[in-house]
Amino acid sequence: MFDALTGRLDGIFRKLRSRGKLHPKQIDAALEEMRTALLEADVALEVVEDFLGRVRTRALSEEVMRSLTPAQQVVKVVRDELQATLGGTQVPFQLPSARPAVVMMAGVQGSGKTTACAKLAVHLRSKGRRPLLVAADLWRPAAVEQLRTLGAEIGVEVVSEGRDAVKVVKHALKHASREGHDVVIIDTAGRLHVDEEMMREARRVRDAAKPHHVLMACDAMTGQDAVVQARAFMREVDTTGFILTKLDGDARGGAALSITAVTGRPVFFVGTGERPQDLEPFYPDRMASRILGMGDVLTLIDKAQEVVDAERAAESAGVTAGAWSKRSRRSASAGYAARQRWTASPTPAAATSSSSTASWRRV
């Protein structure tokens, strides 16, 4: 994702860097090209206009225009404002100490909502939690069975007792308290499109569950449609944040750039693959760097560190190094090499868009 946008922005920045000193007309021309590129990436118009307005104000400031390297300063301004548009700083997903803490997952059909429930359960279990999955999507054929299958795959209990979503949720909460589950993740009903019937049921489930978080799974490949859906859920059930699914796809990625700016709610996680463990915290600064072709080295390094930590834990438990997969060792080596390249390179912005995308997908 973002390949086309990254390529377009890289071309714009190359033109700016070739000019030395910059004139306001040249900056305006570059911003107009950025506007076209962002709209073609399916970024919401209001987000594009606000973003470029902030960039223009800073790019035409005396500090930038009188700089010895004005083009590089403009690139930095674009990166800073892009990070702000994506949410600024990373917002950790935190749950209260209540037992159980309740997370309600919303979204339309095809958004990856049910799979996101299972991925979130895996993530929370890795943090020491004992999750329970609740199959309360009683509208979509086989939705309950899908969650049961995913639960069996990841080793997390799934409950779904009753033919009414509210009764299913109430039974699940009692079961969680009785069996010692400290997190309940509720998969709610979706539709092909946002409609009043779906929203009515979502409100009923929210009122019965009293969730600490209402997350919405948004398909990153749907562009501005995801923004329309997010607004509707915000209005009806007061969404607390988002999980962007299918970020490893080949679409334009407008949803990722628009959703926080439009709703004011953070993206907590991104889905980066089909495996249950392919859920990662969302870092606006890293996403901004990736979109601008600066690579996603920090994520790669984090993955490598996880492998190193796991190997150390295994060694202390008496597990031989040979028990670890070749893939894990390749990840560690890749992370080390990436860290060396990052340390050695004075201009990370020079990384190509193709290599940055490849790094993201490999991890």
Tens of pLDDT along 274-331? 888 899 999 999 888 888 887 554 455 456 556 656 666 777 666 444 444 444 444 4
- pLDDT value for 250: 55
Tell whether the model's pLDDT for residue 186 goes beyond 50: yes
Record: fold of 3-85: Four Helix Bundle (Hemerythrin (Met), subunit A) (1.20.120)
- pLDDT value for 346: 43
Contact 232, 190 (CB under 8 A): no
Distance (Å, whole) CA 128 – CA 107: 27
- pLDDT value for 342: 40
Query: 359: how many CB neighbours lie within 10 A of its CB?
Result: 18
Tell whether the model's pLDDT for residue 66 goes beyond 80: no
| pTM over cut 0.85 | no
Highest mean pLDDT among 10-14, 188-192, 211-215: 211-215
Contact 129, 202 (CB under 8 A): no
- pLDDT value for 254: 77
Tens of pLDDT along 94-149? 999 888 999 999 988 788 899 999 999 999 999 999 999 999 988 887 889 999 99
Dump the DSSP string for 68-82.
SSHHHHHHHHHHHHH
Dump the DSSP string for 18-59.
TTSS--HHHHHHHHHHHHHHHHHTT--HHHHHHHHHHHHHHH
Contact 107, 265 (CB under 8 A): no
Instruction: Give the architecture-level CATH label for domain 101-291.
Output: 3-Layer(aba) Sandwich (3.40)
Q: What are 308's two structure tokens?
A: 């190193």
- Taking residues 52-70, what's their average pLDDT? 85
**What residues are paired with 185 via a beta bridge?**
103, 133
Pick from 277, 337, 252: nearest CA to 48: 252
First to last CA, the chain: 14
- Taking residues 158-168, what's their average pLDDT? 90
Q: What are 32's two structure tokens?
A: 């107009």
| Residue 350's pLDDT band (cuts 50, 70, 90) | very low
- pLDDT value for 129: 94
Pick 312 or 55 by higher pLDDT: 55
Tell whether the model's pLDDT for residue 341 goes beyond 50: no
Residue intervals of the chain classified under CATH 1.20.120.140 are 3-85
- Taking residues 51-66, what's their average pLDDT? 88
Mean pLDDT taken over the chain? 81
Minimum mean pLDDT among 19-23, 179-183, 210-214, 274-278: which range? 19-23
Distance (Å, whole) CA 220 – CA 212: 24
Residue intervals of the chain classified under CATH 3.40.50.300 are 101-291
Give, as one character, the DSSP assignment of residue 131: E
